Structures are given as structure tokens and as C-alpha cells.
């Protein structure tokens, strides 16, 4: 479900949320009007001074901030310093004074606009915004997908493989591991025992052991793995220790593995 949600967002990206910070109502309205033709942008809020802008940044978490350089109480640069680098969205400075441009770029603004705003310059600034946000989102999407796949892989490793595929001359058989009673080593192969049936899997016992859920399957001998739920009895005979499975099968148990196996069986009772 999480993967589908991420893919849905990739196909239908949400609109970019914009905060317009300017003490002049006409200036804020001008930015709104210039944004109107851009369907991928939506004005999430407006602010009239530095403190209001800081509160709006916290409350709205915009993707883009149009920030007037000169505002009451705190100017645009003071807002950014107070906000902190980690919380600053993409920034376009809006100023009536061209000399602020250098300081704007030093503050890592995407661009700056000089009042009065004109359509061509405004659209150019938005194009730069989109390019930067697309790059940022691509990195974030890749990060989310990587994290999702890593979590899914970790869960699989924790729970173990659920099915094994055995190739035969006629077809590939899909065998649920829950149906396996025990597994024996056969040179570089593993023999899966399911009741009266057995199937040869082209994988070593040691490799297979790493893929099975250790809470359900345990190595009892260098040549055998058993499913704990299938164990009926652990006993000692004249020939050594062995497990008797519920279907009557007998599986040898090595001396060094007996104590650990006994503890596991007691824990499951």
C-alpha cells in the first residue's frame, strides 16, 4: 500500500504550496495574480511582517516563499536567520532595491524579483523554482523508495522466505515453507521433505538456512534443518540424539546443537 501511494504521488504530484510575505497588500495581490495562470502553484497563505512569516512557515510548511526584503519588525534576512536553514523552503526575494540581489543569493535564494514585478521575469523565476524542486523531489522520492524497499527487505529477512521454487523437468513448483517438515543436505542441494513427498532444491543447506525464519526453522545437524512445529519428541538413542517428527520421520541431532534445540522446544511449549 505504501508503494502504491508513493507511485500515485509520482504520477500526480501535489500542487506547490506558496507563502507570500510582504507588508504591502498591493504587492501580495500582484504575486497572487502572477501565480494564477500557474496551475501547479497554490497560495497557501500570506503574511505582513517578520513574526507573522515565521509563524506561517511553521504552520503551513510551504514549498516556496516569496519574501519581501524590507518588512516591519524583521526584514527578510532576519526571518531566514530566525527560521533556520533546515526549515527554509525555496525562496524568491521580492525587493524594490536591486542592491539587495547579492545578499539574496548569498542567503541561497533561488532568485529575486524587483518591484514592480513583470510577467516575463516572474515566469523565469518560477521556472527555476520548478527545476530545483523537481531535483529535490527526485532525490526525496528515491530516498523514500530506497527506505521502503530496505524496510520491506528487513521485514522479509526477519520473517524469512515464505515460498521456495523447485525446478523440475515438467514445471517449476512453488512450495510454501509452512508445508515443509524438514530439510536435508544432498551435496550442494537441499532436499525438502513434505510428508511422504520430497523435492530437490538447487541451493545449499547453509544458504537456505539464512533465508528461513529462525523462529520456525532450526539447524539441528550439519545435514538437517527442521520446522519446530513438526517436532513431536527429542530423544537419545544408542546411536545418538534424534528428533521424531509428527509424521514419524527421524532426524539426527548433533551433540553441540542439542542444548539450544531443547531450549527452543521448551520455549514453544
Q: Note the pLDDT of residue 32.
A: 95
CB 47 within 8 A of CB 56: yes
Q: What average pLDDT score do residues 210-232 get?
A: 91
Judge whether residue 137 has pLDDT over 80: no
Judge whether residue 57 has pLDDT over 90: yes
Q: Note the pLDDT of residue 245.
A: 94
Q: What average pLDDT score do residues 143-153 get?
A: 65
Q: Determine the straight-line distance between the first and last CA of the chain, rounded to whole angstroms.
A: 36
Q: What average pLDDT score do residues 44-61 get?
A: 94
Q: What does DSSP assign to residue 170? A: S
Domain 163-268 - what CATH class?
mainly beta
Indicate the domain borders of the chain.
2-155, 163-268
Q: In what order do the strands lie in the sheet with 231-237?
A: 231-237, 240-245, 250-253
pLDDT tier at 252, thresholds 50, 70, 90: very high
Judge whether residue 15 has pLDDT over 90: no
pLDDT tier at 20, thresholds 50, 70, 90: very high
At 244, which helix (H) or strand (E)? strand 240-245
For 13, other C-beta atoms within 10 Å of its C-beta total: 13
Give residue for cell 523565469: 124
Judge whether residue 237 has pLDDT over 90: no
Least confident of 5-14, 83-92, 256-265: 5-14
> What nine digits make up the cell of 69?
526584503
pLDDT in tens, 160-170: 788 888 888 88
Judge whether residue 186 has pLDDT over 50: yes
Judge whether residue 145 has pLDDT over 70: no
Query: 0.75 cut: is pTM over it?
Result: no
Q: Note the pLDDT of residue 108.
A: 58
pLDDT tier at 1, thresholds 50, 70, 90: very low
Determine the Cα–Cα distance for residues 150 and 134; give it in Å rounded to an integer: 24
Least confident of 112-116, 211-215, 264-268: 264-268
Q: What average pLDDT score do residues 128-132 get?
A: 86
For 6, other C-beta atoms within 10 Å of its C-beta total: 14
Domain 2-155 - what CATH class?
alpha beta
How high is the mean pLDDT of the chain?
84
Residue 14 φ/ψ, nearest 5 degrees: -70, 160
Q: Which residues of 78-98 are buried (b: 16+ CB within 10 A; e: fewer)?
A: ebbeebeeeebbbbbbbbeee
CB 129 within 8 A of CB 90: yes
Give residue for cell 524579483: 113
For 253, other C-beta atoms within 10 Å of its C-beta total: 21
Q: Are strands 16-21 and 41-47 parallel, antiparallel or unpaired?
A: parallel
Put residue 268 in one of left, alpha, beta given phi > 0 → left and psi -120 to 50 → alpha: alpha
Give the residue with greater pLDDT, 3 vs 199: 199
Give residue for cell 521456495: 164
For 107, other C-beta atoms within 10 Å of its C-beta total: 18
Judge whether residue 19 has pLDDT over 90: yes
Amino acid at each position: 500500500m505504501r508503494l502504491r501511494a508513493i507511485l500515485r504521488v509520482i504520477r500526480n504530484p501535489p500542487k506547490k504550496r506558496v507563502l507570500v510575505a510582504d507588508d504591502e497588500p498591493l504587492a501580495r495581490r500582484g504575486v497572487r495574480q502572477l501565480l494564477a495562470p500557474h496551475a501547479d502553484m497554490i497560495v497557501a497563505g500570506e503574511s505582513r511582517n517578520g513574526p507573522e512569516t515565521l509563524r506561517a512557515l511553521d504552520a503551513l510548511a510551504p514549498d516556496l516563499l516569496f519574501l519581501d526584503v524590507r518588512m516591519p519588525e524583521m526584514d527578510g534576512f532576519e526571518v531566514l536567520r530566525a527560521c533556520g536553514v533546515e526549515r527554509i523552503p525555496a525562496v524568491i526575494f521580492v525587493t524594490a532595491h536591486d542592491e539587495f540581489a547579492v545578499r539574496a543569493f548569498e542567503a541561497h535564494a533561488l532568485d529575486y524579483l524587483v518591484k514592480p514585478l513583470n510577467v516575463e521575469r516572474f515566469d523565469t523565476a518560477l521556472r527555476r523554482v520548478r527545476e530545483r524542486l523537481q531535483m529535490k523531489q527526485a532525490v526525496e522520492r528515491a530516498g523514500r523508495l530506497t527506505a521502503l524497499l530496505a524496510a520491506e527487505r528487513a521485514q522479509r529477512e526477519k520473517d524469512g522466505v515464505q515460498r521456495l521454487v523447485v525446478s523440475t523437468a515438467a514445471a517449476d513448483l512453488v512450495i510454501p515453507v509452512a508445508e515443509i517438515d524438514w530439510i536435508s543436505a544432498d551435496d550442494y542441494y537441499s532436499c525438502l521433505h513434505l510428508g511422504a513427498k520430497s523435492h530437490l532444491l538447487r541451493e545449499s543447506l547453509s544458504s537456505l538456512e539464512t533465508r528461513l525464519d529462525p523462529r520456525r526453522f532450526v539447524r539441528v545437524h550439519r545435514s538437517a534443518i527442521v520446522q519446530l512445529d513438526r517436532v513431536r519428541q527429542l530423544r537419545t538413542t544408542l546411536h545418538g540424539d534424534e528428533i521424531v517428527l509428527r509424521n514419524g520421520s527421524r532426524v539426527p541431532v548433533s551433540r553441540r546443537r542439542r542444548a539450544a534445540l531443547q531450549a527452543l522446544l521448551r520455549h514453544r511449549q
